[in-house]
Structures are given as structure tokens and as C-alpha cells.
Copies of this chain bind each other. A is one copy, B any other.
Amino acid sequence: MTYCVGMLLDEGLVMAADTRTNAGMDSVGKFKKLHCLENKGHSVFTLLTAGNLAVTQAVVSLLTEHAKPAGKVKDPDNLFAAKTMFQAARIVGRAIREVRKMDGEELGATGDAFAASFIFGGQIGKQPPRLFQIYTEGNFIEASADTPFFQIGEHKYGKPILDRVARNDMKLGDAAKMILLSFDSTLRSNLSVGLPIDMLTYETGTLKFEHSKRIGPDDPYFKMLSSEWSKALRTAFAQIEAFDI
């Protein structure tokens, strides 16, 4: 399983992914699920992936192979040639469909599902950053002020905190804190989501990725966050009067 959250803020984007993969309890691995493609000063793209790892890695490889910052050849699948984030999201969708053409039939034949989902964000030139959730079929929805975040993978345990706190006018650091709390709840309740967490924050207008961090079990901030939050929840719980049976 996997847990990823992407969020669109007035200030920019926050993208986070765990790194655990598993095919059964006894086949556990560590793989990156947060990917970046950057053409500094022109456009930046970031992709969170969940689902069949062979599928998601193939999608990322396809996108990477086509992405040529100085591309002189006209390539409709070159992310760096996309004029808008909508066009860019369609390129990601096409890459998923391309992988399905390559591997879908065989996966179906062995009873495996062609399953993958993506959160895709970025910014092109002076246009505002945009954020999309892209489905296994290659179509997508876009985040807005009403719903500024998307989750993929094991999303339920960590949703209550997002439902309560998420707002698109939060500071990047506060959004990252909230998303780490959402991960903390998920990690406690589901073994298939595991540390480290890859955390990327992107500031609108910079057109480069400057802030990314891998947060492991010894990360002092995450340890503090986790323990302070537990303490705060227990205190809050104790302060509310008991149910009168």
C-alpha cells in the first residue's frame, strides 16, 4: 500500500509520499513515490504515485524520457513543451494509457489489475500552480479552493485531520505540518504505510524545487510532532467531560 497527499495553496504546493511498497506481508520494499521534473525558471512538475509499482515506474520513465528542456523536435509528450498545466496533465494521462497498451492485457491475463493513481502538480511560467488527481484511466480532476488537497493510496485514516484543518490560505509550513500529522495517524493504524516520508514544498513563482526532505524515524521534527500531538490529544480527551451513561 501507499499513502500520498498533494495540496494546492495560495503560497504553492505541498507534496508528500511514504516509501513503503509491499506485495504481501513478506515482500516489503522501499521505493520513491514522489517524482520531480524541473526546467528551472520555466516550468516545474511533481508527481505522486500509488498502485502497481511496475505501472507507476513505467509512467514516470515514459514522462522522463520525453521531457527535454531544450527540445527542438516537436514532441506532444514532452512535459516541458506543455503550454498549460491542463496540457501537462493530459500528457501524464496519455503516459498511463500508453503503459496500459504495453502491459494491460498481460496483467489482466494473470488476474492482476492494471491499477495506478497519481497526484500531479506544477507550475508553468507566470501561470498559477495547479494540482490534479489523475486516475488509472488517464482522466483527471483538479483541486480548487473548495477541496485544496488530494490523497491516494491508504487515505482514510489520515483524512479526518485534513477535513478539519485544510485551507488553501494556510502557510506552506503549516500545511506540511498538517500533512505530516495525517501521515502519523496513517502510520499508526496501517502497517503497509511506512517511513521515511518524502516531503516537497514548492513556493509559487520560484519555478524551481528548493525544498525537499526525506523524513525518517529519527527525524527530530517528526518525532516531536508525533509525541506533541499524542500528548495534546490525550490532554484534550481528558478535559472533555465523560459521557453520562
Contacts and interface: CB of A to CB of B under 8 A. Distances in A.
A146 interface: no
Given A160-B188, A230-B164, A243-B199, A237 B171 contact: no
Nearest to A203: B245
Interface in A126-164: 156-157, 159-161, 163-164
A154 to B, nearest CB: 8
Interface in A190-245: 199, 201, 211, 221, 224-225, 228-230, 232-237, 239-245
A245 B211 contact: yes
A164 B188 contact: yes
A interface, over-half SS: helix
A232 B240 contact: yes
Contact of A188 (B163, B201, B228): B163
Interface stretch (A23-31, A71-79, A82-90, A172-180): A172-180
B178 A237 contact: yes
Contacts of A221: 243-244
A147 to B, nearest CB: 13
A64 interface: no
B188 A233 contact: no
Contact of A177 (B164, B178, B243): B243
